[in-house]
Chains A and B, each alone.
Chain A
């Protein structure tokens, strides 16, 4: 529930290098600890088990980093955004680094659903001749196989520039196509079509942009 006395600070950060291997839970804990180290006046929930009022954006798969990740932090006192950013930077490792902080409205959508459209950039071990986008992808969800139509999730074309592939996926309220699953199937289809050798694999995988629908 929005408490009008609190200040809602949206912090954008990079998750890079080896820290792309963190799970969402590990990432969340690391960010909370950085906030504590930064000494910001974070709000604490009332009740049985008091905890920091912080909300995280859409989760990244393990192994996928990001340059435009964000979280919302609720503060009890106003701290000028550049000052808050500097304190967070001081308290953060280089691979989990805050790059922007700004205050947003309480009525703005929650961090987890604010930006359902994500653009990813994958750098492959070598440049494919072209990429083959599969039409359907079968995923296992809650032990059940489910077939997803790629067209339902893919926004715009899959762009190939040398060894770099760029694509945009939209999350639906009913579910989403995981970027790592999509990339895996993309590689499989591309290799199967003879457009790249079987050794083709990502060397870097980043979410580079998140935006509203």
Chain B
């Protein structure tokens, strides 16, 4: 088929839409169109360019496919509403950026599922591309449509829309999948044969159409909601891990956008995973085991990355950057490299203690904006329940250090609706924030106290698949508002302000997070009724979602709010992040008793099962120093990669 170039039809539209730079391609660092004859993969982020171009996963996966022989990747993003409507009016389908060809003309299309509110945008993307929404409706010559990303850990609400859902880290898994499709297409295999082969051969690949969906009672008896239709497709899909992460280059070649995107900066991923073990946190369960890249690798990547991109900001990213065993060395060296260049260095995911503040101070320079800490809960009791191993003293010592060092603004993140939460815990948020303010005041010279700002930001707890709280329900939106009201009334200080997340969107998140395959119909109906861009507060269309539920006769509230015992088989029981169901159940029981579990990168193995299941170790550059300064405990699954690697860990203890 001759390539169709849509640019002559796209260009005239650009004068009529906002931010045409979203649709231009031609950025610094952008790749050539996929070569003629190569298998063409289109990587799509189901939201606008500003969000998608900044996404590290998209960048990694496009680079991974481009690095493999015989295939190439291009990018596509969902156009903003004005452009999407104009394209429909003018009959222009969704196009890729690099060659500006229809997405439907690609051999393989991959859509990342970054969060639960992107579901209707998946359908908007497919529809705009002219690809049939459901796998069952796709013809032989339609692209194979893949999904991946965090939401793959409960894939069922998306199951009918995707041919293949890839679970886990995609660095190797995605090029493998595309290569398999390429080879099978070349040998004349049918679509059905290709999907079956992917399910058989690609680790972490879930092909929903090869499984029968059971009803609840059957699922509870069978221990799984899905029954493989063929003996050779896996009954349980295990996530993939990129085992070479720690040793791989921290420099991820990137495109430098023209229009301003979120996190518009060089990103250097310094470590992957976090084993602090917060019981609500899906990422903490998903990316085990923890793997650190070396200081040399990271420092070189920052230097080279800034030189090739021209960025004036670099972020050292991970789930818990200040936990890196060499973080002080890394920040000191990066700082020295960037001296006098007007380059900002940022470290997200602030550790909540004075060490975290010391690290922030190392790179803050003169400009000290705000610091953000996440105590997550207002009382020690509830922090123990969620295993947020942070005390008031930790928070206060962080506040003391931050305000003494010159910061004047601090944001505290909390969750409302956590399991076992009572009104006392809500009042505890107000009390903690006010006492934090008092500490800040004491640390600041009298004439500067007027500029102190303490803000409280509350998200609604969303139970996530593959976490110890997966069996727990979300509180109703009305109850959320009551608790937020109580919080607001409990805050007496004018300098402490309270912000909260809209419970209506958190409700949709919870349904998407916990639902089974029946939720897909709800998503499609909501989209047909006009829901799209649900994550954009001003575009969230509540009526479309409630109308869809009524029309289908389903009760999303039940899905979001039901609480189950740990013996209940959940709709994602056939997907595993390598953390064992036993561990999750045990953690939930410990939560109920208020017993905490230590971080295995510092202390004992918590027996989550990830390392032995995957045949991997936690990979650290050197021993992480225990918080109390004591000897780090022994852990059989911990490997030291750095210069101390020649020393047997056990021998040091």
A residues contacting B by CB (< 8 A) are 17-19, 21-23, 25-27, 29-30, 32-37, 39, 44-45, 47-52, 62-63, 91, 93, 95
Apart from A30-B28, A36-B341, what 7 extra A-B contacts exist at CB < 8 Å?
A18-B24, A29-B260, A33-B309, A36-B311, A37-B307, A45-B342, A50-B342
A21 contacts B310, CB within 8 Å? no
Closest to A62 in B: B20
A39/B258 contact (C-beta < 8 A), A49-B367, A50-B342 known: no
A22, B23: Cα distance in complex, Å: 11
Pick the residue among A30, A44, A62, A93 that contacts B341 (CB under 8 A).
A44
B312 contacts A36, CB within 8 Å? yes
- List 3 tightest A-B contacts by C-beta distance, closest first: A33-B310, A36-B310, A37-B310
B309 contacts A17, CB within 8 Å? no
Smallest Cβ distance from A26 to chain B, in angstroms?
5
A32 contacts B310, CB within 8 Å? yes
Pick the residue among B14, B21, B307 that contacts A23 (CB under 8 A).
B21
Between A and B, 24 residue pairs with Cβ closer than 8 Å are A18-B11, A19-B24, A19-B26, A21-B24, A22-B258, A27-B258, A32-B310, A32-B312, A33-B310, A35-B310, A36-B312, A36-B341, A37-B28, A39-B307, A44-B340, A44-B341, A47-B366, A50-B365, A51-B342, A62-B20, A63-B20, A93-B27, A93-B28, A95-B26
What are the residues of chain B within 8 A of A51 when measuring CB–CB? 312, 342
B306 contacts A36, CB within 8 Å? yes
What are the residues of chain B within 8 A of A25 when measuring CB–CB? 260
A19 contacts B258, CB within 8 Å? yes
A-contacting residues, B240-292, CB 8 Å: 256, 258-260
Is there a chain A Cβ closer than 8 Å to B308's Cβ?
A: yes
Smallest Cβ distance from B366 to chain A, in angstroms?
6
Is there a chain A Cβ closer than 8 Å to B15's Cβ?
A: yes
Smallest Cβ distance from B605 to chain A, in angstroms?
45
A47, B452: Cα distance in complex, Å: 21
Smallest Cβ distance from B197 to chain A, in angstroms?
41
Closest to B340 in A: A44
Smallest Cβ distance from B127 to chain A, in angstroms?
26
A30, B26: Cα distance in complex, Å: 12
B310 contacts A26, CB within 8 Å? no
A91, B29: Cα distance in complex, Å: 11
Closest to A63 in B: B15
Total inter-chain residue pairs, C-beta < 8 Å: 73
What are the residues of chain B within 8 A of A19 when measuring CB–CB? 24, 26, 258
Instruction: Give B342-386 as 1s and 0s: 1 = Cβ < 8 Å from A's Cβ atoms.
Output: 100000000000000000000001110000000000000000000
B26 contacts A93, CB within 8 Å? yes
A48, B367: Cα distance in complex, Å: 6
A23, B17: Cα distance in complex, Å: 13
Instruction: Give B290-319 as 1s and 0s: 1 = Cβ < 8 Å from A's Cβ atoms.
Output: 000000000000000011111110000000
Smallest Cβ distance from B224 to chain A, in angstroms?
51
Smallest Cβ distance from A208 to chain B, in angstroms?
20
Smallest Cβ distance from B305 to chain A, in angstroms?
11
A-contacting residues, B1-58, CB 8 Å: 11, 14-15, 19-21, 24-28
A17 contacts B26, CB within 8 Å? yes
What are the residues of chain B within 8 A of A52 when measuring CB–CB? 312, 342
What are the residues of chain B within 8 A of A39 when measuring CB–CB? 307
What are the residues of chain B within 8 A of A21 when measuring CB–CB? 14, 20-21, 24
Smallest Cβ distance from A17 to chain B, in angstroms?
7
What are the residues of chain B within 8 A of A37 when measuring CB–CB? 28, 307-310
Pick the residue among A17, A26, A35, A91 that contacts B21 (CB under 8 A).
A26
B307 contacts A22, CB within 8 Å? no
What are the residues of chain B within 8 A of A62 when measuring CB–CB? 20
Number of B interface residues, CB 8 Å? 28
With most chain A CB atoms within 10 A of its CB, the pick from B24, B307, B340 is B24
A34/B342 contact (C-beta < 8 A), A18-B24, A18-B26, A48-B367 known: no
A102, B311: Cα distance in complex, Å: 25
A32, B309: Cα distance in complex, Å: 11
With most chain B CB atoms within 10 A of its CB, the pick from A27, A29, A51 is A29
A98, B397: Cα distance in complex, Å: 52
Closest to A43 in B: B342
Smallest Cβ distance from B633 to chain A, in angstroms?
44
A33 contacts B256, CB within 8 Å? yes
A44 contacts B342, CB within 8 Å? yes
Pick the residue among B258, B342, B366 that contacts A30 (CB under 8 A).
B258
What are the residues of chain B within 8 A of A23 when measuring CB–CB? 19, 21, 259
With most chain A CB atoms within 10 A of its CB, the pick from B26, B310, B367 is B310
Smallest Cβ distance from A169 to chain B, in angstroms?
20
A22 contacts B26, CB within 8 Å? no
What are the residues of chain A within 8 A of B307 when measuring CB–CB? 37, 39
What are the residues of chain A within 8 A of B308 when measuring CB–CB? 37
A48, B312: Cα distance in complex, Å: 15
A21, B308: Cα distance in complex, Å: 24
A39, B308: Cα distance in complex, Å: 10
Smallest Cβ distance from B312 to chain A, in angstroms?
7
What are the residues of chain B within 8 A of A36 when measuring CB–CB? 306, 310-312, 341
A48 contacts B366, CB within 8 Å? yes
What are the residues of chain A within 8 A of B26 when measuring CB–CB? 17-19, 93, 95
A14, B15: Cα distance in complex, Å: 20
Smallest Cβ distance from A96 to chain B, in angstroms?
9
What are the residues of chain A within 8 A of B19 when measuring CB–CB? 23
What are the residues of chain A within 8 A of B341 when measuring CB–CB? 36, 44
Smallest Cβ distance from B624 to chain A, in angstroms?
34
With most chain B CB atoms within 10 A of its CB, the pick from A39, A50, A62, A63 is A50
Smallest Cβ distance from A153 to chain B, in angstroms?
23
Smallest Cβ distance from A203 to chain B, in angstroms?
10
What are the residues of chain A within 8 A of B366 when measuring CB–CB? 47-48
A51, B309: Cα distance in complex, Å: 17
A39, B19: Cα distance in complex, Å: 29
What are the residues of chain A within 8 A of B309 when measuring CB–CB? 33, 37
A5, B121: Cα distance in complex, Å: 55
A47, B310: Cα distance in complex, Å: 21
With most chain B CB atoms within 10 A of its CB, the pick from A17, A52, A93 is A93
A26 contacts B258, CB within 8 Å? yes
What are the residues of chain B within 8 A of A35 when measuring CB–CB? 310
What are the residues of chain A within 8 A of B20 when measuring CB–CB? 21, 62-63
Smallest Cβ distance from A141 to chain B, in angstroms?
19
What are the residues of chain A within 8 A of B21 when measuring CB–CB? 21-23, 26
Smallest Cβ distance from B82 to chain A, in angstroms?
15
A52, B340: Cα distance in complex, Å: 10
A50, B21: Cα distance in complex, Å: 27
Closest to B25 in A: A18
What are the residues of chain A within 8 A of B11 when measuring CB–CB? 18
A26/B259 contact (C-beta < 8 A), A33-B309, A36-B306 known: yes
What are the residues of chain B within 8 A of A26 when measuring CB–CB? 21, 258-260
